[in-house]
């Protein structure tokens, strides 16, 4: 869940720069692109963590020995 919170924080932090970039501010656009790279990497980390949880739950259970 920590990775998800980081992802949300990154998006919130860049919100103002997105608005500035849309208005034509080139420096803000550069900052947005930099943060979007971080968002991408963080989203990939989250994706991998979720897949790991899913795969851990999909492990086959060994059959019970017959008595």
- pLDDT tens across the length of the chain (67 residues): 899 999 999 999 999 999 999 999 999 999 999 999 999 999 999 999 999 999 998 756 666 667 6
pLDDT of res. 61: 61
Q: CA 17, CA 13: separation in Å to the nearest integer?
A: 8
pLDDT per residue as tens digits for the range 48-62: 999 999 999 875 666
Q: CA 44, CA 60: separation in Å to the nearest integer?
A: 26
pLDDT of res. 1: 82
């Amino acid at each position: 869940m920590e990775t998800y919170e980081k992802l949300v924080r990154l998006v919130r932090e860049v919100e103002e720069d997105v608005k500035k970039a849309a208005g034509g501010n080139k420096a803000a656009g550069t900052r947005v692109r930099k943060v979007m790279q971080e968002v991408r990497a963080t989203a990939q980390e989250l994706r991998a963590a979720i897949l790991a949880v899913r795969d851990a739950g999909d492990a086959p259970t060994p059959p019970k020995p017959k008595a």
